[in-house]
Structures are given as C-alpha cells and as structure tokens.
Structure 1
Amino acid sequence: MTIDIETKRHNLDKWLYDRLTSMTLPNDFENAVQYAVKAGGKRLRPILLHSAFNAFSNDDDKIIDVMLALELIHTYSLIHDDLPAMDDDDLRRGMPTIHKEYDEATAILVGDGFLTYAFQIISNSPHLAAEEKVYVTQQLSQASGFDGMIQGQYLDLKAENQTVSLDELETIHRFKTGALIRAAVKIGAYLGGAVPPQIESLDRYASYLGLIFQVQDDILDVTGDEEALGKPVGSDESLQKSTYPSLLGLEGAQKWRDECMNKATKALQEANVNHDELQAFIQLFGRRNH
C-alpha cells in the first residue's frame, strides 16, 4: 500500500496557512511567518500521526489541531537548526533559510512563535477533551524539550569535530530525530483509542522508524542528489560529524537501516492493528531519496 502523501500534504498546508493568516501581525513579520510555511516540506510527522490515528479511528476532525501543532514544532526545530550558531545552513528545501532571507533575529522569533503557538492551538482545541489536551501537551513538550530535541541538538553540536561511538550516535538521534516521531505515533494511537499494550508496541515501532529516518538521512548526505534534497550534500562531512556511514561504512549503514526496517515491521505486527499505512511509512522512510 502507498500513502497519498500529496493530498494529505496539500490539506495540511492549507490548514496551516489559514490558521497563521488569521493572526494579526506586523506586515514584515507576517511575511516571514508565511515564508516559513510556504517553504513547504514533507509534513511527514503529522501525516504519520494521522496514519496512527486512522489505525483506530476515522474521526479526522479530532486531530487536525494536533497535526498543526506537531508540524509547527517540527518547523521551529528546523528554523533554529539552520541558524549560524547551530548548523549554519543557507538552504532549506531548495530555498534560502529564514535567517538568510530575512535576518537572524527574525528567524529566532519565528521559531519561538511557532513553538509557543503550537501549545496555544492544543489548549484552545474544541475537539479534545481536557485529559486529551494534557496527554498531547505532555508528549509534545517532552519530545521537543530537554528530554527530546533540545538535548539531541546539544549533543549533536558537541559531537562536531570529533568521533563518537555508535551508541553515542544513536543516543543523539534518539533525542534529536526520534523523539518527535515517537510522539507523533503515540499521540495518534492514544487519541484514536488504542489500549496501552498497543501503544507500547507502536512506540517500539516508532523508535525504529526514527532510526530508519536518520540512517537514511546520513546515507543521502553521502549518496543523495543535491537538487532532490534541496540542500548541499556532504554537510555532515564538512562539519566533521560522526554519521552511520562514517562509523559503519556505507554498506554497513545500509545493512543497519534494513535491519531496523525489519524490527519496525515486527513491532508493528505485535501491535495487532490495521497497519497498512504504518507499514508503508517504513518503506517511505527507508527508501526515500530526499
């Protein structure tokens, strides 16, 4: 089975644009906010959340606000990741990064605004019960904070210009990349009505999915096409970062990716759910070319 990514992405882009244009902001700042959204993106995390939810429920109205919040948090992380003090990237998705198109202060404020607005959306959602808002807020804040992306980004920066072990590299990416992917799956399953043992199995699935995504990301930094990626290849090497290909060799990294794909499939089977789209995500993450 394939996932209708384009339709789901189109819908999400429209919802994001409508929500952000409903705010009252200074014109120049509003332009920067819209630029960050119009730069596009794969929107894979909210689409993954949608697939996890649909494994248990088809009441899609319930999760639109959650999908928007998740994508805003992810976009915030990319904006800050590109800053000169972080990875210092000039391009994102083939377009100038926000600090290049505008300025560094504007980029920081847009990112901060996205992060905080995400939780405003959750707290104001008319589709979620109070206990559901608490669960979603807890999962998203943990995944994006000190127990998630923040720690991962710190460890990633500290690992520049030095060699780390395979275990240390996995820890970095478990926080930086994997935490938000796990939150997407857990939130989707929880809101859909999954029982705790199913959520536990799906969490294992999501953990491997995060590894698959990162290993393939490292592989593409070596073998990918710059035009397809929308950013320069070899950026990890230029920053002297340890990657799966640098530690395992390209063939070893590909083998580890495939092993994680098999483990993700096994965890998904243990969840005992309608998992066609979730299974498709394993292939999507592991075989993507951008």
Structure 2
Amino acid sequence: MSSGYDDALPLRLARNAEAVEALLDNLLALDVAAGEIARPERLLAAMRHGALGGGKRLRPFLTVEAARLFSASEAQALRAGTAVELLHCYSLVHDDLPSMDDDDTRRGRPTVHKAFDEATAILAGDALLTLAFEVMADPATHASGQVRAALVLCLARASGLGGMVGGQMFDLAAEGRFEPAPRALSESEIRRLQAMKTGALLRASVEIGALLGGADAAALDALRRYGRAVGAAFQVADDILDVEATPEELGKATAKDADKGKATLVSALGLDAAKRERDRLRDEAIAALDGFGEEAGMLREAARFAAARRS
C-alpha cells in the first residue's frame, strides 16, 4: 500500500532529525554554559533521556521548511525548531507522569519517571521547558531582538494557558478527574481541546519559521491556516492509531483513549468518519499552500505524512 507521501520526504525528515539531534546533544552537554553555576548530572541525564533519540522531529522540520520559503538562515531556523522540540519534549515528560497519563513507555523505552523517578522527571520537564525559551531568546537564533520577542511570544501562547497546557486541563476534566464521572464532550469541544493540546504547538512550529523569515501578513495567514489544519489532521491520525496500531508500531501503549474515556473524534464520529475528516484536513492544509508554488513541496508532503503515518 502506498505511504501517501513522496519518497523524498523520509530522507529530508531524517536529515533534519539528525541535525536537531546533534544540536540537542550539544545543548544538553555537561559543560556549564555562560551564566550558569553548575549542571546536576542526574538532572542532565534525565533531560537527555527525555529529549534525545526520539521520533521524526516533525515540529522542527515544519519550522525549517517554513523558514526556507523566505530564504531564512537554515542554522537559525534549526535553532528555532529545536527550541520548539525542547518544549515538545518537556510536554511528553510531564504527560507521562503518574498524575497525568501514567505511561511506562515512550518511543519504545521507559519514560523518564520510570527510568529515574517522579521528582527528577518533573524537574527534567521544567528544565527542558526553560531551555526552550533560552534557546529562542538567544541572539544566535536571530540578531533582531524584535524578531526574537515575536518568536518567544508565539511559542509561549501556543504552549501555555490558552494553548497546550490549557488543552491538557480540558482533557483531564473530560476524563472526570474533578467530577464523579467522565463527561462526554461535544464534537466542537473535542476540536477545541485538540486544537489547544496538540494543534497549537504544531501551528506555532510553522508560524515561527515564517516569523523568522520575515513573512508578510498574507503569507503568515496562509501558513497559519496550513499549520492549524496539519495540527488537527495529526491529532485525528493519532486517535486512529490508538485504535488500529500495535504498541510495537507506536513505541508506547495503545487503546488508552477508550480505556480512560478520553474524548476523541474517533469516539465522537466513528472510525470511518474520523478517517474522512483526517483526509479532509490534510487536503485543507495542502490547499492553504497554493500561493507558494513548488517551494512549498516539502510542507505539502509533511501534511500527507501527518495523515498517513503509522507511528
């Protein structure tokens, strides 16, 4: 069966992931950075466990490819994308905690709280989060303080109260954490939750690349539309994989959503309708790039990948 995306994409993804991995390895070295006093070895080891050796690195890929549309510095785009990835890794470390999703495995190996302990995992997540903003605010990411401020603002809004963290709170509430029993969410409430918990950071990954490249208002709007649709398609695909994929394919436990009563579009629409919605969102993302010509080819393939992935 066809993967649904061009064969050139895996190679570009792999090259980008390798570059992100190298930069993460450098940022998480034992050497004390300027302005620091010391780096606790156990904390650093937990941060490295949570951040290194992981996944396709889709978020920094989106940042780099969006920045490429405006001929932005690839080295600077890689730094900005790696900042987004650090924030994403923090969110995974905290999501896996016993008080959150209580997961034992992530990417085929023990989660940070299992490999170390819960307190260390909390601190590792905190440190990854803080490092994300340190990298984004560093002049090495962009010479202009005004641009760096816009990047930091975009990342903060996508990841905080009105974005990822707020979406996680809605998710916990829907599970019945604060009431006697789970509450069934409407389709619109599920879409809002997912737009915040998963979609906001994926959209910001694209927007940050555009801001780094100095995109004008029209281009920025188009890329925001692309990012919103890709983020939504990615989450619906994730919901479908939780039903259809094996733990070996995903590198983590499956069938968790139904077991925990989580609100998903699969539960709201049914599996077949959720697949149609995933494909509709993929097409919406691709259509948003109509004004960019062939230069946006990899972003189009990334949308197809987000919908067709098996892990």
TM-score, with length taken from structure 1: 0.96
Across the aligned residues of Structure 1 and Structure 2, the Cα RMSD in angstroms comes to 1.4
| Residue number in structure 2 paired with 1:60 | 74
Q: Output the amino acid matched with 1:7.
A: R
Q: State the percentage of identical aligned residues.
A: 39
CA–CA separation in structure 2 for the residues paired with 1:40 and 1:261? 24
CA–CA separation in structure 2 for the residues paired with 1:59 and 1:167? 39
| Residue number in structure 2 paired with 1:151 | 166
Q: Please give the residue correspondences for 1:189-228 in structure 2 after superposition, counting only pairs within 5 Å.
A: 189-228=210-249
Q: Output the amino acid matched with 1:26.
A: P
Q: Is the 8 A contact 2:24 2:52 kept in 1?
A: no
Q: Could you say what secondary structure the match of 2:215 adopts?
A: coil
Shift of 1:119: 1.3
Shift of 1:56: 1.6
| Number of matched pairs | 290
List runs of 5+ in structure 1 lacking aligned partners: none
Shift of 1:271: 5.2
Render the CA deviation track for 1:96-127: whole Å, top value 9, x for unaligned. 11111111110010000011111112222334
Shift of 1:75: 0.4
- 1:40 counterpart = 2:61: no
Match of 1:112 among 118, 121, 126: 126
TM-score, with length taken from structure 2: 0.90
| Residue number in structure 2 paired with 1:265 | 286
- 1:85 counterpart = 2:106: no
List runs of 5+ in structure 2 lacking aligned partners: 1-5, 33-37, 176-181
| Residue number in structure 1 paired with 2:15 | 7
| Residue number in structure 2 paired with 1:17 | 25
Render the CA deviation track for 1:129-153: whole Å, top value 9, x for unaligned. 1111110010011111111111000
| Residue number in structure 2 paired with 1:238 | 259
Q: Could you say what secondary structure the match of 2:289 adopts?
A: helix
- 1:125 counterpart = 2:146: no
Shift of 1:190: 1.8
Q: Is the 8 A contact 2:44 2:124 kept in 1?
A: no
Runs (4 or more) in structure 1 with deviation over 3 Å come to 270-273
Higher alpha-carbon deviation: 26-35 or 208-217: 26-35
Q: Output the amino acid matched with 1:189.
A: A
